[in-house]
A and B are shown apart, each in its own frame.
Chain A
Amino acid sequence: MRRKPEAQAVATLSELYRTMLEAERRAGPKAAMDASTKILDDLLTEKGMSYDELVLAI
């Protein structure tokens, strides 16, 4: 069953995804994954949440 996502959640995650892509582009192909993963990890550490928790909270 597919559910319709909330517009606000889509906006928040799009923004996060954009910064991650930006970081990947700047870091170059080799360090791309590490750079974007770091952004996500930092966000999770700052919020004190697991990935699941974050996704459910948005």
Chain B
Amino acid sequence: MTNWSLQSRLFALLWSLSALTLVGVLYALWQSGTDWILATILVLAVGLTLFAQNRIRAWLEPIARLNRLTSEVVAGRFENRITDIRHEDEIGRLCWNVNDMLDQLEAFFRDETTAFREHLSGHFYRKAFPNGLHGGFRKGLESHNQLLDNIAEVQREKMRNLLITRIQQLNSSNLLTNLASNQDDLMKVNTEMQAVLELATATAADAEDSQNTVSQVVVYLNDISQRIQYVANGVAELNDRSQEITKAVQLITAIANQTDLLALNAAIEAARAGEAGRGFAVVADEVRTLSENTKSASESIGQIMGSFATATRGMQEDSDAMREMASTSSEVIGDMEGRFAHFADSARETRQRATRARDMGFGSLVKVDHVIYKQRAYMAIHVGDEDGSYREAVKVDHHNCRLGKWYESTGRESFGATRSYQALERPHAQVHTQVHQMLDQLDQGWESDLEVQEAILESMRQTEAASLQVMEMVDRMVVEKQENEG
């Protein structure tokens, strides 16, 4: 009987009672003969038993359903309920309670599962709803929500790390290229400056040599001037001497006159030959004096002529020396002319190289400004909402960043004539457009959405691509300007 259902057991008891009644009534009939009352009781007892069997079946029917329902619950299915509860007896209340319990269970598990699934998909706003649940169920979901908060935190951190890692990678590789470009610029600037230094050193040496040469020329010129003084002195001496010659010539003239007179006197005296001999002796004496005077005059002239020869020889020497000095000076001056031409060439080359170095320096500076702008964009991603200054800094458009301002002013003055200058604007504008797009994407929930992350990354890739063109244009701009200036 232990395996029998509750219903069968109750039925067995009922029918046992009916059978006992039947035996009692039959015994009474056999003892006292036909008795209609007893017969009626017998019929009523059987009828009551049938009625009771019917009722019990109806009352116990929900238990069978409860039984099936709890089997479902055991299997983890909470969807079914007991319906059509007709009685408010213990079984009826049990049914209601089971239904309520299932409501709680189902809401609990369904909400927990949904919230968890949504969190895994990154929808961190979807928490479980503890309201409407009771006691342990409510506490369970509240704990679950705390767990979900932690999951959200971890997930956000994970996504953040993912984005930052990828962005960092993109940044590092490009930053290296950018820096290499700047390094290249600086090396070129260095080479140019080295050349400028060598030119300047050579020019200084040349200048020193030239200074020596000029000193030499000055010495020669001083010498020449001294010699000219000598010549002038010589000329003055000659002048003096020539006066002496004049005097000597006058003396000779006087002698000639005297000789004439003596000849006349001799003629007269010869005519008066009477007192021969006496007068003639006087004439002879005068003629002797005359001959002495004539001798001294000719001696004096001879001396003068000797000094003339000395003076002339000195002047000849001076003029020879002057000619030689003049020719040496001319050589030296010719040499200096060559040096000056070399100076001019060096100075021109120095200016060219210095200009080139300055242009390259400009280009490099502009590139650094641009790289800093990009680094700020990366920092805006890194720091997120903690520090808005980077975000503000990269919000400027391509006319108002440092490169943009340079482009409109100094850049236009220096490089406005090159084609690359014109071509620079488009990729530069593109860099700003892409960075601004990235800023918008930063607000679209990249912590939970891989697609948004991908979009951010793509914007930065585009930024880098455009930026590479900016760098290239700046380089080309410098080269083009050098070519134009030849």
Contacts and interface: CB of A to CB of B under 8 A. Distances in A.
Contact of B106 (A1, A3, A4, A57): A1
Contacts of B343: none
Given A48-B443, A48-B444, A1 B125 contact: no
A56 B125 CA distance: 8
Contact of B132 (A1, A48, A56): A1
A22 interface: no
A52 interface: yes
Nearest to B125: A53
Interface of A: 1-4, 48, 50, 52-53, 56-57
B126 A3 contact: no
Interface residues of B, number: 14
B107 interface: yes
A56 to B, nearest CB: 6
Contact of B103 (A1, A4, A48, A56): A1
B444 A56 contact: no
B127 to A, nearest CB: 8
A4 B131 CA distance: 9
Given A48-B443, A48-B444, A3 B132 contact: yes
Contacts of A4: 132
B129 interface: yes
A4 B132 CA distance: 8
Nearest to A4: B132
Contacts of B376: none
10 contacts: A1-B104, A1-B106, A1-B132, A3-B132, A48-B445, A50-B123, A52-B125, A53-B123, A53-B125, A57-B125
Contacts of A3: 129, 131-132
A52 B114 CA distance: 13
Contact of B123 (A1, A48, A52, A57): A52
Contacts of A57: 125
A1 B126 contact: no
A52 B123 CA distance: 9
Contacts of A48: 443-445
Contacts of A56: 125-127
Given A1-B132, A3-B131, A52 B107 contact: no
Nearest to B444: A48
B126 to A, nearest CB: 6
Nearest to B133: A1
Contacts of B129: 3
Contacts of B131: 3
Contact of A52 (B126, B443, B445): B126
Highest count of chain B CB atoms <10 Å: which of A1, A4, A53: A1
A1 B107 contact: yes
Nearest to A50: B123
B339 to A, nearest CB: 77
A28 to B, nearest CB: 34
B410 to A, nearest CB: 42
Nearest to B102: A1
Contacts of B103: 1
Interface string B88-123: 000000000000000110110000000000000001
A1 B125 CA distance: 21
Contacts of A53: 123, 125
A3 B138 CA distance: 13
Contacts of B126: 52, 56
B263 to A, nearest CB: 152
Given A3-B132, A52-B123, A53-B125, 12 more contacts: A1-B103, A1-B106, A1-B132, A2-B132, A3-B129, A4-B132, A48-B443, A48-B445, A52-B126, A56-B126, A56-B127, A57-B125
Nearest to B111: A1
Contacts of B443: 48
Interface in B7-25: none
Interface in B225-271: none
